[in-house]
Amino acid sequence: MLPSQLSSGDVIADRRADYAKMLAESGEPASAAELMEQALELSPRWAAGWFTLATYHEKAGNVPGALAALNEVLALDAGDVFGARLKLAVLGGADMPDRPPSLYVERLFDDYADRFETSLVEKLGYSVPGKLAALIAETADIPKHFRLAIDLGCGTGLLGPEIRAHVDRLEGYDLSKGMLAKAAEKKVYDHLGQADLSLEPDLSGVFDAGLGPGRADLITAADVLMYLGALQGVMAIVRRLAADGAVFAFSVEDAQQPAGYVLRDSLRFAHSEAYVRAILADHGFDVQGLSRSVIRMDGGKPVHGILFITRKSA
């Protein structure tokens, strides 16, 4: 929960929620759910509390209870900062959305910014930036130096140092201001700005700076597209940013199925190779290089990904 949402505004409700948390952490989610329900009787408009209740119900195996609690969240929080629609879809209570709500993604990464690199790189073995930069360098028949690189979803800037020596100008964009602040500390980007890649491909509405179309000869998106689902919109943005012959290098989580994309329990999307290739072809990009790899660990299990090096047709 966000700090501003930790309290229900009712001292007794908060105390019961604290006891419920203790029960959940002790391996008693059903008892935690009962106590959380009592807290919500005192504070029925506490959206964060309903989301917590859904979590306890899910852990206790009470899927109907979880679905009911998630629907309460949506009734109270139209912007869906908790990603309740995604969770409903995972639990079978709603159709899979094409993309997550922007407020959910922004909140997720703002909250995660301070511990992002320690958690992802040191604990989960995240390796996409180095592998993607190496694949760019190894792929035949593409440039080895670039005039302008745009790092979409740059996060804390892990890819920036990997490609800085090969670009004249490096710009990074992310939805999370917290992540952008961390990227700025690296001092490798010439410009950093906020951007929502889930918007329609009108560059004036997507980017906070006057970034004109057709300027970039390298566009990257490391570990970004798994937060977007359907890729038509972001590919339209990439196509508009890219100069003729520009390279687009990116990663996806591997759906390991013949077609389409799926929403996983992690609330991230995984895409099939066939789906990605079809979207690329629709927007005039040809695949120049491809690599399958374990890109991180999650819950002690490997997450398989696909790295693509593509080029816009002249």
**CATH code of the domain covering residue 83:** 1.25.40.10
Identify the domain containing residue 186 by its residue range: 113-312
pLDDT bin (cut points 50, 70, 90) of residue 3 is very low
Compute the distance between CA of residue 260 and CA of residue 274 in angstroms, rounded to an integer: 7
Residues 59 and 155 in one domain: no
Q: Are residues 204 and 270 in the same domain?
A: yes
Interatomic CA distance for residues 243 and 224, integer angstroms: 21
With contact defined as beta carbons under 8 Å apart, do 190 and 170 qualify? yes
Question: 22 and 142: one domain?
Answer: no
Let me know if residue 108 belongs to a domain: no
Place of tokens 């906020």: 194
Same domain flag for 135 and 250: yes
Answer yes or no: is pLDDT of 210 > 60.
no
Locate 80 and state its tokens: 């869906």
- Tokens for 2? 């966000």
Beta-strand runs (E) in 7-117: none
Both 46 and 147 in one domain: the answer is no
Q: What secondary structure letter does DSSP report for 59? A: H
Decide if 268 is inside a domain.
yes
Domain count, the chain: 2
Residue 65 has pLDDT above 90, yes or no: yes
pLDDT range class, residue 214, cuts 50, 70, 90? confident
pLDDT for 80-95, tens place per residue? Answer: 999 999 999 999 999 9
> Are residue 234 and residue 288 in the same domain, yes or no?
yes
Give the span between the Cα atoms of 83 and 112, in whole angstroms.
Answer: 15
pLDDT value at position 211? 60
Spatial contact of 136 and 309, defined as CB atoms under 8 Å apart: yes
d(CA 171, CA 55): 38
Of 95, 130, 155, the position where a domain reaches its end is 95
Q: Are 311 and 288 in contact (CB under 8 A)?
A: yes
pLDDT at 2: 41
Domain final residue pick, 60, 95, 130: 95
Domain assignment present for 103: no
From the CA atom positions of the chain, what is the Rg in Å?
Answer: 21
Across the chain, what does the average pLDDT equal?
91
Q: What is the CATH number of the domain that holds 123?
A: 3.40.50.150
Is 105 part of any domain?
A: no
How large is the average pLDDT for residues 250-275?
96
Label residue 127 exposed, middle or buried (CB < 10 Å: 0-12, 13-18, 19+): middle
Report pLDDT for 114.
Answer: 83
Q: Which of 49, 67, 95 is the last residue of a domain?
A: 95
What distance in Å separates the CA atoms of residue 13 and residue 44, rounded to the nearest whole number? 10
pTM (2 d.p.): 0.89
* Cβ neighbours, 10 Å, residue 124: 16
271 is a domain residue: yes
Both 133 and 50 in a single domain? no
